């Protein structure tokens, strides 16, 4: 073998070894964490009987050798009616667990894949879009196995900091069905301010007013001036790509940092009804609300604007080059390996096989 052939041979070995190493690194490892909750049995029974209430019961939460005093309640909206309830826990001590003071444990009862929120949040993150983190957890209450849950990162100041956003900005949650930016009457009944809670809703009030009164010919310029345009296009495109039929009227956040450019950003929430969850009807990107509610005027006007709609379609095509089999298959393989036993072992799940 000549010196030239030896060099080529070594280069090929190096190339394939690096390629295999890179593929190995990209394969996600899905881990399950374990939490132990201790509380009074009568208070626990009362919490589940009055699952529509937002009253916290006192608990102690423990992870490995870390223990904190906390409060616990049932969380969610329509999901509260399911047999398996989602849980919200707030630590009352000054010290956190894994830098977290609030825990959201989602039952994922209606998602027979148990993966929709998990995968959809990873798609947002893969596209470098700010999105909550998700992980899997086993919950024990008073030393009895309570079930397998999806842990969902809380949307708060810590989330904003973690994603490079100013924690002093205004974060609004579309907390009830019908939060469609359609009417000022929404402000007091369908929106919740998650930061700067003592300040007014005037910025959101102005946005709703402007959207209703802006002329069609001025709409594109208004969006460029008042929204982070690349992020708006990404939000629209990713939601369409994952067939998110449960947003724009609920399950999203609006954020605005007045100290910097003051432009609005939309943030995702509650992604359990994505990836063709509604199998009884085809997903339609332009259905921005339920039949009995107003359409989301922001999203509707975006889709009706020729330039925005063109940018939206181009971005979907680009997302398809990133989110493909190379992205999905390692997640599926890891899920089958690491989650199968845990999901089947939870008798409170809808999943039986």
Tokens of 252: 């999203």
- Alpha carbons 205 and 148: distance in angstroms, whole number: 40
Q: Which residue has the tokens 């003071």?
A: 101
What would the pLDDT profile of 208-263 be if each residue is shown by its tens digit? 999 999 999 999 999 999 999 999 999 999 999 999 989 999 999 999 998 889 99
Q: What is the pTM of this model?
A: 0.89
Contact 1, 9 (CB under 8 A): yes
Residue of 198 and 321 predicted with greater confidence? 321
What would the pLDDT profile of 67-94 be if each residue is shown by its tens digit? 999 999 999 888 899 999 999 999 999 9
- Could you list the beta-strand ranges (E) of the chain: 32-39, 57-63, 66-75, 86-91, 102-106, 134-141, 144-152, 170-174, 191-193, 252-256, 264-268
Q: Which residue has the tokens 């994922």?
A: 108
φ, ψ for residue 196, nearest 5 deg: 50, 50
Reference 114, options 226, 285, 272; nearest CA is 272
- Alpha carbons 282 and 171: distance in angstroms, whole number: 32
């Amino acid at each position: 073998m000549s010196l030239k052939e030896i060099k080529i041979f070594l280069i090929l070995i190096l190339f394939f070894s690096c390629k295999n190493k890179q593929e190995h690194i990209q394969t996600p490892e899905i881990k399950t964490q374990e939490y132990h909750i201790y509380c009074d049995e009568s208070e626990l029974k009362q919490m589940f009987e009055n699952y529509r209430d937002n009253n916290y019961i006192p608990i102690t939460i423990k992870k490995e050798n870390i223990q904190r005093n906390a409060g616990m309640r049932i969380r969610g909206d329509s999901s509260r009616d399911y047999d398996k309830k989602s849980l919200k826990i707030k630590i009352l001590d000054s010290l956190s667990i894994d830098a977290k003071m609030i825990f959201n444990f989602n039952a994922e009862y209606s998602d027979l894949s148990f993966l929709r929120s998990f995968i959809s949040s990873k798609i947002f993150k893969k596209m470098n879009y700010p999105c909550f983190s998700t992980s899997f957890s086993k919950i024990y209450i008073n030393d009895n196995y309570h079930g397998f849950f999806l842990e969902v990162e809380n949307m708060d100041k810590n989330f904003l900091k973690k994603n490079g956003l100013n924690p002093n900005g205004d974060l609004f949650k579309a907390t009830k069905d019908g939060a469609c930016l359609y009417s000022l009457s929404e402000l007091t009944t369908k929106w919740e301010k998650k930061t700067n809670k003592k300040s007014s809703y005037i910025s959101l009030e102005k946005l709703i007013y402007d959207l209703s009164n802006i002329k069609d010919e001025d709409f594109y310029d208004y969006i460029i001036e008042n929204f982070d345009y690349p992020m708006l296009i990404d939000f629209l495109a990713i939601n369409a790509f994952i067939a998110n039929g449960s947003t724009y009227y609920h399950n999203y956040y609006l954020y605005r940092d007045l100290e910097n450019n003051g432009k609005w950003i939309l943030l995702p929430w509650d992604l359990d009804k994505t990836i063709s969850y509604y199998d009884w009807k085809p997903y339609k990107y332009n259905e921005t609300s339920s039949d009995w509610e107003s359409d989301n005027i922001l999203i509707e006007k975006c889709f009706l604007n020729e330039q925005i709609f063109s940018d939206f379609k181009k971005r979907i095509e680009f997302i398809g080059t990133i989110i493909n089999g190379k992205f999905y298959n390692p997640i599926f393989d890891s899920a089958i390996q690491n989650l199968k036993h845990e999901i089947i072992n939870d008798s409170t799940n809808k999943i039986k096989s």
